[in-house]
C-alpha cells in the first residue's frame, strides 16, 4: 500500500488535516517519519521506476491515439515474444477458462501493486 490511515475524502484543508491527521500532531520531523512509516511493508520493486516516471511531464492520454485492439493471433505472437497477458477477471471466472500463460490478477483488491510487480 502507499500509506496508512488514508482518507477517502476527495479534498481537505490544512486546518482540517492539522486537527484530524494523527501524523501532523508529531512534535518533530523524526517522530513524523516514524509514525508514517512504522509497520509499512517495503516498497515494491517497481516503485522507484514509477516514481521517476510520475515526475516527468507527459502528454495527457489521448484516446484517439490508443493502440488498436489486438487479434487473437497478435496476442499469441506478443506472448511468444515475451509479453505478459494479464487477465483482470475474478479468480473464479479465470478458473473456468483462460488463455494459456495468462496471469490472473483480479481487478478487486491490490490490482495495481500486483500488476506492477508482473
Look at residue 82 and tell me if it is in a domain. yes
Look at residue 89 and tell me if it is in a domain. yes
Q: 118 near 86, Cβ under 8 Å?
A: yes
The 10s digit of each residue's pLDDT in 28-63 is 999 999 998 888 888 888 888 888 988 888 777 777
C-alpha grid cell for residue 60? Answer: 495527457
Look at residue 10 and tell me if it is in a domain. no
Look at residue 68 and tell me if it is in a domain. yes
pTM over 0.85: no
Q: Which domain holds residue 105?
A: 61-117
Look at residue 23 and tell me if it is in a domain. no
Give the pLDDT confidence score for residue 80 in this predicted structure. 96
Closest by alpha carbon to 83, among 106, 113, 103? 103
The 10s digit of each residue's pLDDT in 59-88 is 777 777 888 899 999 999 999 999 999 999
Look at residue 95 and tell me if it is in a domain. yes
Look at residue 65 and tell me if it is in a domain. yes
The number of distinct structural domains making up the chain is 1
Residues listed for the chain? 118
- Give kind and range of the element (H or E) at residue 79: helix 72-80
Reduced to 3 states (helix: H, G, I; strand: E, B; else coil), residue 103 is strand
Look at residue 83 and tell me if it is in a domain. yes
Amino acid at each position: 500500500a502507499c500509506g496508512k490511515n488514508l482518507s477517502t475524502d476527495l479534498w481537505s484543508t490544512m486546518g482540517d488535516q492539522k486537527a484530524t491527521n494523527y501524523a501532523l500532531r508529531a512534535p518533530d520531523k523524526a517522530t513524523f517519519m516514524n509514525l508514517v512509516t512504522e509497520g509499512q511493508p517495503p516498497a515494491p520493486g517497481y516503485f522507484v521506476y514509477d516514481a521517476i516516471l510520475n515526475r516527468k511531464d507527459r502528454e495527457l492520454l489521448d484516446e484517439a491515439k490508443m493502440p488498436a485492439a489486438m487479434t487473437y493471433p497478435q496476442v499469441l505472437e506478443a506472448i511468444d515474444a515475451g509479453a505478459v497477458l494479464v487477465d483482470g477477471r475474478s479468480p473464479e471466472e479465470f478458473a473456468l477458462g483462460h488463455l494459456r500463460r495468462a496471469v490472473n490478477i483480479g481487478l478487486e483488491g491490490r490490482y495495481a501493486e500486483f500488476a506492477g510487480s508482473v
